[in-house]
Amino acid sequence: MSGAVGYPAVLTDGDIVLRPYRRGDAGTWVEVRTYNEAWLRQWEATPPAAWSELNSTAAFHMIRRAMRRGAREGESMPFAICLRDRGRERLVGHINLGSIVRRAFSSAYCGYWIDSRVAGRGIMPTALALVVDHAFGPGRLHRVEVNIRPENKPSRRVVEKLGFREEGYHPHYMFIDGAWRDHIGYALTWEDVASDGGLLARWRRRRG
């Protein structure tokens, strides 16, 4: 696979591993998505279809093909979030740099989700910090933006822990769960984290 600058890549911090999706992830992905329907569905932009249909094995392979195509075309960098234990990796979430624009803008949007069974353990902030540092380094981007519904307090806590700047309020921004939903726009540029040695280094100091 080639296309996106800095992708494919594997990013790690301790037992947290971010890597491209594999065909063999299908079973775990279906299990995690099925278990987390109530946790995830209210926040995701999805077609009006049954959750089981949108998160089936066939759906996984279709989504994986779309992710690979986007990566080849340089439009995205999708990662499976995994936890490593005794040499084995367990898929527990997803994070993606998408809508990548180069040249004078050099920006991307970031979206993510995490298995509720491992939420609150610092996995998601660490994954986002890894992706942002990768974007500003090998990815050669200057800005990463995250847009979150005001009601999504767990997701907002992730970006606020990392020091993302709140930049604006976007009314009726995206169609989610049956209606056009408002979002809050957060962002970071390379200059925001350069003096800290990167976002992961900042996050480690804040946790410490």
Domain extent listing, the chain: 11-207
In Å, how far are 104, 132, 135, 160, 191 from 140, measured between CA atoms? 12, 11, 6, 24, 13
Q: Are the C-beta atoms of 99 and 109 separated by less than 8 Å?
A: yes
Q: Are the C-beta atoms of 114 and 55 separated by less than 8 Å?
A: no
Distance, CA of 97 to chain centre? 7
Taking Cα atoms as reference points, which of 123, 133, 109 lies closest to residue 186? 109
Helix, strand, or coil (residue 102): coil
| pLDDT for position 196 | 96
Q: Measure the CA–CA gap between 114 and 203, rounded to whole angstroms.
A: 18
User: Which DSSP string do the residues of 161-193 spell out, in sequence order?
Assistant: HHTPEEEEEEEEEEEETTEEEEEEEEEEEHHHH
Taking Cα atoms as reference points, which of 166, 182, 185, 186 lies closest to residue 174? 182
Residues of the chain where predicted confidence (pLDDT) is lower than 70: 1-3
Contacts of 124 (CB under 8 A, 6+ apart): 81, 93, 112, 114, 158
The CB density around residue 92, as the number of other CB atoms within 10 Å, is: 23
Contacts of 199 (CB under 8 A, 6+ apart): 128, 129, 132, 133, 162, 163, 188, 193
| pLDDT for position 50 | 92
Q: Measure the CA–CA gap between 187 and 165, rounded to whole angstroms.
A: 5
Residue type, 50: A
Write down the pTM of the prediction.
0.96
| pLDDT for position 3 | 61
| pLDDT for position 2 | 52
| pLDDT for position 177 | 85
Q: What is the CATH number of domain 11-207?
A: 3.40.630.30
Q: Are the C-beta atoms of 129 and 203 separated by less than 8 Å?
A: yes
Q: Measure the CA–CA gap between 182 and 171, rounded to whole angstroms.
A: 4
